[in-house]
Amino acid sequence: MNNKYTLWKKLPQMSLWAFVLIASLFFAACSGGEGTGDGGTTPDGETGEKVSQKVGYLRVSHMSYDAPAVDISVDGTVVVEGLKYGESSAFLEVPMGERTLLITPAGKTDKLYEDKADVSEGARLTVMAYDKAESLKVKVLSGPAEQMADKALVRFVHASPDAPKVDIKAGDPESTAIFGGASFGDVTEYKAVDEAEYEFVVTAAGDTKAVISFEKAKLEKGKRYTVFARGTFDAQDSVDFGVRVFVDNDEGKTFLDLKAKTPAPAEMSKVRVFHMSYDAPNVDVSVDGNVAISDLGFGMSSGYAELPSGERAVKVTPTGKTEPVVIDAKLNLEAKKDYSVFAIGALKDIKPLVVVDERAPAAGKAKIRLVHAAPDAPAVDVKAGDPTASAAIGNIAFGKASDYIELDPGEYSFVVTAAGDTKAVVTFEKVKLEADKIYTAVAHGTLDGQDSYDFGVRVFVDNEEGKTFLDLKAVAETKKVSVRVIHTSHDAPNVDVSVDGSVAIGDLGYGTSSGYAMLPVGERVVKVTPTGKTEPVVIDAKLTLEEGKEYTVLAVGELSSIAPVVVEDERAPSADKVKIRFVHASPDAPAVDIKVADPASNAVFANAKFKDATKYIEVDEGEYEFVVTAAGDTKTVISFDKIKLEKGKVYTVVAHGTLDANDNYNFGVRAFIDNGDGKTYADLNAKSN
């Protein structure tokens, strides 16, 4: 700042206005004015002493952070030049009365501000320019009537435009405010305080959390202070928030800046973000207005980043853009906790799922949990190895995360079923879980065969950076066919049926059906043994099962000559007809004809020999009296009471037992229903002779 009136420096006790007055008197004397030598008269004609000009004191404080250096004029005369932001001029003597103040950019005439100021005798006024340059404001601050010899006087001026309403406290943010509830532009009254060193603390009004605290500053008795909060909290500009303390005594431009304490390291949390919104683009994640994670793609983890604990504002936008904001959420992060934030759902329904991570390993164990992020999948159970086993992780619905469970290290084949069900939705190949590792398995994608986002499970390792993953590989779907076994070997015991070395059917008794079981297509090795035994193997056969077909395997003949008869089933019903076929499984019965009611009628099944199975035929629904004759004969061997055949049903009628009156295995006919599970049957009742 340059004071244009350098005479002040030579004559420090003389004001500008006194200088002007003396000069005018001097010129008057030289021009022959009337003086008496003993005082003479004043310019107004009165005799007596020299007139003393009545004055006040005025200084200008520049607190407009983005305004240029300025010049200040009083009544058209520039009295301060080049006053910069944060500076204050010295107190200037100005005549009392109404004065015109003009503020312009330094060296220019552009008017930034012009107004009147009323200066009273002896007043010490501070003219404060504040706010942004484009909305410059001026406020006149008055001074105290008199200084207190044994106290310091201090007042507070809030000149920081983006700072909230604040309290100013000493030492403890929970203490009573010295200055309370000061808003931008407010000026407090002077307050008398003891001489001491003060650690000032700024809090939001009514709050007890320090926004900023300062190192000790000494306030001396007998002095006046004006404390300016200035600058901004905006990290994007170059004008930092600060507090400058001016000493109002003497010339009034001396100041000291309060030194902000180095804040204690913020308590931190660790956070990672997972992009599991299957149809959303790559995204950026902003925290408190700053991009923290860039270009995160579907299915990926950002890895853990440290963030200050407390409430964090999180926004998710497409990569490189600020709109649209697809997630706008507040996260409350507790100190020293770790979090995973999952963006889940279709883009139109995207939402965050926040879970707390337990990253402390369990000694000698693996820890794993499931996050369900597949929006069209039902609630699921996760089982190990067998879909009928107890769930390791149970009933987890979309948008939920299970607790961690502990497992022994080893290889696991995980199976996903609908919650409470025993049918595998998907079975995965074995994956190795390691001791002391922590895993988060994420079910993602969709079950919709019409989109390109396949359902899958990705297993992330929570240890270390939290980004590493492996994808569980679904076991290739094995195509299967329906197969049942009917035991018609009359003198054989109950049997077990093994397929490819594993018992598939247990304890099957004579005359019964196992019902349909699903077996893999291809060549299967089938062995039949007495129940609970592996020897003797009474049937050892290879069956070739073709995709899309269904089969019935009949064990026929005496035990000594037991053999399999394999027939293809046609289980698709005819809506308004009955489907029926005949199987000859009676080893000592001749070839036969099967007729309806009259042995002389045409055969519905003709010339069926032992081990033969006829083709299905369709007949009307109704009650039928079946008659068995020798093939080509018209003499009844056996006839049966009426049996009702229902439309929409499919029947396999099996002749079994023997004609030998000396054994206990009577000849009979049993009608199995091929619909449903394939086990249900009805016996045809032979008519009495």
Q: Domain spans of the chain?
A: 55-257, 265-342, 358-475, 480-562, 570-683
- Distance between CA atoms of 61 and 382, rounded to whole angstroms? 72
Rounded mean pLDDT of 5-14? 32
CB 674 within 8 A of CB 651: yes
Closest CA to 301 of 473, 470, 474, 472: 470
User: Can you give the pLDDT at residue 347?
Assistant: 96
pLDDT band at 24 (very low <50, low <70, confident <90, very high): very low
DSSP per position, 494-529: -EEEEETTEEEEEEEPTT-B---EEEESEEEEEEEE
> Which pLDDT tens digit goes with each residue over 254-266?
999 999 998 777 7
- Distance between CA atoms of 562 and 585, rounded to whole angstroms? 11
User: Can you give the pLDDT at residue 237?
Assistant: 84
For residue 37, is pLDDT > 80?
Answer: no
Closest CA to 498 of 527, 524, 521: 527
For residue 7, is pLDDT > 80?
Answer: no
CB 560 within 8 A of CB 569: no
CB 161 within 8 A of CB 189: no
> Which pLDDT tens digit goes with each residue over 93-149?
999 999 999 999 999 999 988 999 899 998 999 999 999 999 999 999 987 767 899
* Location of structure tokens 């893999």: 520
What string of H, E and C letters represents the secondary structure of 562-581? CEEEEEEECCCCCCCCEEEE
User: Can you give the pLDDT at residue 159?
Assistant: 97
Rounded mean pLDDT of 6-24? 35
What string of H, E and C letters represents the secondary structure of 243-282? EEEEECCCCCCCEEECCECCCCCCCEEEEEEEEECCCCCC
- Distance between CA atoms of 597 and 275, rounded to whole angstroms? 73
- Distance between CA atoms of 158 and 144, rounded to whole angstroms? 19
Selected from 2.30.29, 3.30.70, 1.10.3210, 2.60.40, the CATH number assigned to the domain covering 480-562 reads 2.60.40
Beta bridge mates, 508: 495
pLDDT band at 71 (very low <50, low <70, confident <90, very high): very high
Rounded mean pLDDT of 647-669? 94
For residue 5, is pLDDT > 80?
Answer: no
User: Can you give the pLDDT at residue 275?
Assistant: 98
User: Can you give the pLDDT at residue 40?
Assistant: 34
Query: Residues 311, 313, 318, CA angle at the centre, nearest 5°?
Result: 155
Please report which helix (H) or strand (E) contains residue 168, including its range: strand 166-170
> Which pLDDT tens digit goes with each residue over 522-537?
999 999 999 999 999 9
User: Can you give the pLDDT at residue 689?
Assistant: 62
> Which pLDDT tens digit goes with each residue over 161-170?
999 999 999 9
User: Can you give the pLDDT at residue 3?
Assistant: 39
For residue 379, is pLDDT > 70?
Answer: yes
Percentage, residues of the chain above pLDDT 70: 92
Q: Which of 43-57, 62-76, 196-210, 352-366 has the lowest mean pLDDT?
A: 43-57
- Distance between CA atoms of 573 and 571, rounded to whole angstroms? 6
Selected from 2.120.10, 1.10.3470, 2.60.40, 2.40.10, the CATH number assigned to the domain covering 265-342 reads 2.60.40
CB 127 within 8 A of CB 99: no
User: Can you give the pLDDT at residue 234?
Assistant: 85
Q: Is 289 left (phi over 0), alpha (psi -120 to 50) or beta?
A: left
Output the average pLDDT for the chain: 90
User: Can you give the pLDDT at residue 29?
Assistant: 38
* Location of structure tokens 């079975």: 427
Which is it for strands 196-198 and 200-204: parallel, antiparallel or unpaired?
Answer: unpaired
Percentage, residues of the chain above pLDDT 90: 84
- Joined tokens for residue 541: 């056969």
Tell me whether domains 265-342 and 480-562 share a fold.
yes
Rounded mean pLDDT of 643-651? 97
pLDDT band at 451 (very low <50, low <70, confident <90, very high): confident
Q: Which of 29-38, 64-73, 208-217 has the lowest mean pLDDT?
A: 29-38
- Joined tokens for residue 64: 């407009």
CB 487 within 8 A of CB 509: yes
pTM of the full structure: 0.49
User: Can you give the pLDDT at residue 43?
Assistant: 34
Closest CA to 144 of 209, 95, 191: 191
Q: Which of 51-55, 159-163, 335-339, 390-394 has the lowest mean pLDDT?
A: 51-55
